Chain A
Amino acid sequence: MLSPLLLLPLLAIMILNLPIRSLTQKLSVWVGVGLSLWQIVAVILLATGRGCTDTWGKFFTLGLSCDNLTLVLLMSIGIVTLTTILVGWQTIGGDKQRFGFMNLVFVAMIGMNGTVMLTDLFSLYIFIEVTAVASFILIAYQRDTNALEGAFKYIILSATATVMMLLSISIMLLVVGDTSFAAVGSAVKQSQGNPLVMFAVGIFICGLLIKGGVVPFHGWLPAAYSAAPAAASVLLAGIATKTSGIYALIRLTTSVFANNESVNSVLLLAGTISILVGAFAAIGQSDFKKMLAYSSISQVGYIILALGCGTNLAIIGAVFHLFNHSIFKSLLFVNSAAVETQSGTTDMNKLGGLGTKMPVTNATSLIAFLSTAGVPPLAGFWSKLIIVIALWQNGLHTYATIAVLASVLTLAYLLLMQRRVFFGKVADGLANVKEAGWGITVAASILATITVGVGVLFPWMFNSVLMPISSFLK
């Protein structure tokens, strides 16, 4: 049942692009909704142990594998893609434009699904690039100066990452002769003293850090997130960069460079700097989406920090936070999309008092920001708690303290955002603003429900869902 996750979107692209455009342009959105819903169902089936036989795999030698980490990511991809499509349906005008957008989303889906399911460095790289290509075009979709600039920055830095990853892969091929995770992993373990291998590991990690937007490799991220069309930024911030950067990093650090001391200390440092720089930069932003972009950098920092800690509990926390982050950050971007489409701006100096005008957006944004800031009992609280506990248990008291204090900063800038956009007096010229359309509100409600649900059901989730996640750690 794994290969359809790759093949169905591909099939969809092929069929939709047959020369019957007048029909397929109308159908594309429904196909997208169907595909993403099917992916969610498929993940649930896989997780409960049904449908594991891969009939299609007999015909295509894809070398897909699936463990619990993959399932979590596939689930996030399904959910975020669904919301992206709903938001896109609402915000992108014209059948033709929407059709193009849907095609790109399908490409990104193939890229992300492939990234999380494949088991060798080179394929990983290929699918990361597939996602990236789709992302470039998505960012530039509006074709104005900002969009092109954002896309350009992403391309330049991505190209740097590409060079480094390719270089690393070629070194690995030279030294190991194989690029499968298992082979590279054992080679790294055996050749601890080999400077060439360590160099390869280092630049591969740097490539992934660029893709994930970790400080100081994050230069492209704020521009790209804020320039992308509303729907695209949901996909990008919610899952695309998380999959291509952070997932890959989790996978590699756990199964390839397992618990290498120097790798861990690099990650701890990068995570902490990310948390702090992202949070402080977010405080100073007056653009809604830019603030969310910096907030994203800061939250990714937590995941990297947990990864650097390296214990099982920390990895669980990292994966859980990755999932939560993909939900609440998507939600925040969905809210920003609502604000952007209804008021025409994301400049917080011009916004204000939208809470009464847009009750659903207001309420869901409140949930999302409280979850991001780690307020109990929402989902974000639990994942941060696990990370902080793991850090503390591992003796990393300074990092744990910074992580806790930084969540105060998170609360500060998000509260500022909530107040400037939704609370207070209605700003000039916004008196006639109405609630966003159904697509956006439905998307926001789904994500808010998940955030609250995961948070409230945490005690149950911890033993039945979270602990099994660690089964991929050997």
Chain B
Amino acid sequence: MNDSFILLPIAIPFIAGLVVLLISQRIQSVKEAIALLATAATLGLTITLYGENINFSIPWTGFGIDFALRLYHFSAFILVAASAFSFLFVLYSCSFMRDKPYLNQFYSYLLITLAMANGAVLSDNLVLMLFFWEGLMLTMFGMIAIGRPGAYKTAIKAFIIVGGTDLCLMLGIGIAGHLAGTMTISKISLPVDFLGSLAFVFMMIGAISKAGSVPFHTWIPDAAVDAPLPFMAFLPASLEKLLGIYLLARISLDMFKLTAGSWISILLMTIGAITILLAVMMALVQKDYKRLLAYHAISQVGYMILGIGTCLPIGIIGGLFHMINHALYKSCLFLTGGAVEKQTGTTDLAKLGGIGIKMPVTFVCFLIAAASISGVPPFNGFYSKELVYDAALERGTIFYLAAILGTFLTAASFLKLGHAAFLGKRSEQNDNVRETSLPMLVPMIVIAAVCIVFGVWNYLPLNDLIKPILGEERLAGYEFSPNTMLITITVIVLVGALLHHLFAAKVNGSGYKASDHIRHAPFLEVIYTKAEKRWFDPYDIGLKIVQGTSRLGWWIDRGIDWLYEDFAVQVAKGLSSIIKLAHTGSYSMYVVWSLIGVLFVVIMLMKSF
């Protein structure tokens, strides 16, 4: 196979994206056809490329910055996943996005996003990767901004947060490139000394913020409400997780010699644990289908970061496996959310309920995905979480406890979601709800099926996709036997969650209110209220600081302005009027002035005598 074929996964979607933008708004079907064809072609191509090892490099800007691409096992795997998801989302959007405004922009951004993501994954040069990475930021901004009216505010929020963390990434890349003396990723292998760890932390910030970890997550729940739904399934739920975790894995596995027990490992695990707990606590009390899912999209990142942060092969494998699993079930969940939104016109849980029987296929897909995310055996989420638990327990009980508590809360919140949305009493306006259209069902069914396949036959993805990423050497001496104790605990926790839900739903009156006692628990009540008022949102805090500073600046500015505008003018006017008063127009007065002047001059000249 020709090496330059490696360019096609970037070129095809990019060119298709530009073409879509140019086609008239009126012929929607042509746009959809082009988008479908382009993603299908990319998918086909990436599947063909899978298994190849290609190093491609042409000179680019000089200074050691080449247009270097590297296709190997890991990047090929991400490429296939990204292309497959894109194809399914385009298919889904054909129905969901029909007759929505800005359709040409939507498809164009989606395709260009795919191109940029493929580029970032393939890049073997840090600067080139940054180039694609920033390109992603632009299309993300565009995709949020074309959502409902007013979405541009969320778009700006996302842009600022992601832009800020991208700046960190840039800094990290700069330091890493300086330390290593090269920008070529495959040649970099840095020790984690002072500067090295600085570079790692900066690059890590870029990576985990892309994945949506706490505290860089706050734009995601807002975007869930404002942006078009396929965007949520596409970027925060799947593609950005793939990219962020891919980068995290690359830097912690290849670029830096990370060891278990280093402070960076502890830092990563801590971030992971906090992300799991904080986001799931927020998810638990959400009253909106999409917002609830968005918080879970954040929470699950915690497992991946925790897994990779353990620096143990089993944890890394768990984290990476969880990455692909999460992309599957979370996008499936968002797609069911989209189906519900399309059919009922709302995602507010208070207005939903009892539609499971009307939309059976959607409901079943939801059940499978929800079971996956909650970690119910034998679905895929269960297996990846088990691996993470195993590694976490080895590194510290506290991390394990955080992870298992997260699982309990995840299960509880999905029981609540399913109960509130699909079961329970149906309101009258939902009586005529019907199952959604086929183009929307197919992606859901496909993804749900993959969830089951990856669960039941979990050795398939583990052996063929995940383990080769780490390589034989690292895995030597590790056994992946199921840990009976952990499985038992998990099952007990899940049963506990179920019992808790049933009990709470009964006490609180309905599935919709099943989490109210947590929401209104003493102490938590205060925190939740403040969180809902965005007290803890770094963006809003930053905004307040900026506003305060600018107000201060405004006052100073007014002061200076007053000095010029009023004070100086008044002084000048005052002096001017005094001088004017003195000029009475009387010539005798003027003669007197002149004579006084003469006297003065003569005295000045003769004072030496």
Contacts and interface: CB of A to CB of B under 8 A. Distances in A.
Interface of A: 152-153, 156-157, 160, 164, 193, 195, 198-199, 201-203, 205-206, 209-210, 216-217, 219-220, 222-223, 262-263, 265-266, 270, 277, 280-281, 283-285, 409, 412
B254 to A, nearest CB: 59
16 contacts: A156-B587, A157-B591, A198-B606, A209-B597, A210-B594, A216-B594, A216-B597, A219-B591, A220-B587, A223-B585, A266-B601, A266-B605, A270-B601, A281-B576, A284-B577, A409-B572
B115 to A, nearest CB: 51
A206 B597 contact: yes
Contacts of A205: 601
Given A164-B598, A220-B590, A280 B606 contact: no
Nearest to B571: A280
B585 A217 contact: no
Contact of B572 (A153, A265, A412): A412
A285 B591 CA distance: 22
A412 B564 CA distance: 12
Contacts of A201: 605
A284 B605 contact: no
Nearest to A153: B587
Contacts of A160: 591, 594-595
B583 A222 contact: yes
Contact of A217 (B579, B593, B604): B593
A284 B582 CA distance: 12
The interface centre, meaning the residue of A193, A195, A206 with most chain B CB atoms within 10 A of its CB, is A206
B533 interface: no
Contacts of A156: 587, 590-591
Given A206-B597, A216-B594, A284-B577, A195 B609 contact: yes
Contacts, number: 91
A398 B576 CA distance: 22
B575 interface: yes
Contacts of B609: 193, 195, 198
Contacts of B607: 262
B604 A265 contact: yes
Given A198-B606, A199-B605, A265-B604, A284 B597 contact: no
Given A281-B580, A412-B572, A199 B606 contact: yes
A115 B577 CA distance: 37
Given A203-B601, A210-B594, A277-B579, 4 more contacts: A195-B606, A220-B587, A262-B604, A283-B572
B61 to A, nearest CB: 40
A266 B595 CA distance: 15
A283 B576 contact: yes
A210 B589 CA distance: 14
A283 B572 CA distance: 8
Contacts of B594: 157, 160, 206, 210, 216-217, 219
Nearest 5 Cβ contacts at the A-B interface:
A219-B590, A284-B576, A202-B605, A202-B602, A216-B593
A195 B576 CA distance: 38
A409 B575 CA distance: 12
A184 B316 CA distance: 104
B486 to A, nearest CB: 79
Given A216-B596, A281-B583, A202 B606 contact: yes
Given A206-B601, A217-B597, A262 B587 contact: no
B179 to A, nearest CB: 49
Contacts of B580: 281, 284-285
B605 A280 contact: no
Nearest to B588: A156
A219 B587 contact: yes
Interface string B326-360: 00000000000000000000000000000000000
A280 B575 contact: yes
Nearest to A412: B572
Contact of A153 (B590, B597, B598): B590
Question: Chain B contact residues (Cβ within 8 angstroms of A): what range?
Answer: 20 to 34
Contacts of A284: 573, 576-577, 579-580
A263 B605 contact: yes
Interface string B552-592: 00000000000000000000110111011001010101110
B481 interface: no
B432 interface: no
Given A283-B576, A284-B580, A157 B587 contact: yes
A217 B593 CA distance: 7
A210 B605 CA distance: 17
Contacts of A203: 598, 601-602
Contacts of B595: 160
A219 B579 contact: no
Nearest to A219: B590
A209 B598 CA distance: 10
Nearest to A152: B587
B608 interface: yes
Contacts of B590: 153, 156-157, 219-220
A193 B609 CA distance: 8
Nearest to A222: B583
B414 to A, nearest CB: 69
A304 to B, nearest CB: 12
The interface centre, meaning the residue of B591, B593, B598, B604 with most chain A CB atoms within 10 A of its CB, is B598
Nearest to B593: A216
Contacts of A223: 585
A96 to B, nearest CB: 31
B112 to A, nearest CB: 48
A281 B575 CA distance: 8
Contacts of A265: 604
Contacts of B576: 280-281, 283-284
B539 to A, nearest CB: 44
Contacts of A153: 587, 590
A262 B572 CA distance: 31
Contacts of B585: 223
Interface string B81-125: 000000000000000000000000000000000000000000000
A293 to B, nearest CB: 11
A279 B605 CA distance: 27
A28 B608 CA distance: 55
Contacts of A263: 605
The interface centre, meaning the residue of B573, B601, B606 with most chain A CB atoms within 10 A of its CB, is B601
The interface centre, meaning the residue of A164, A198, A199, A280 with most chain B CB atoms within 10 A of its CB, is A280
Contacts of A199: 602, 605-606
Nearest to B585: A223
A205 B598 CA distance: 9
Nearest to B609: A195
B597 to A, nearest CB: 5
B255 to A, nearest CB: 54
B166 to A, nearest CB: 42
Contacts of A270: 597, 601
B577 to A, nearest CB: 6
A160 B595 CA distance: 9
B82 to A, nearest CB: 58
Contacts of B598: 164, 202-203, 206
Contact of B589 (A152, A217, A219, A222): A219
A223 B605 CA distance: 31
Contacts of B597: 206, 209, 216-217, 270
Interface in B357-372: none
A280 B589 CA distance: 20
Contacts of A409: 572
Given A283-B572, A283-B573, A198 B605 contact: yes
A153 B591 CA distance: 9
A164 B601 CA distance: 13
A289 to B, nearest CB: 15
B214 to A, nearest CB: 55
Nearest to A214: B597
A368 to B, nearest CB: 22
Nearest to B607: A262
B592 to A, nearest CB: 9
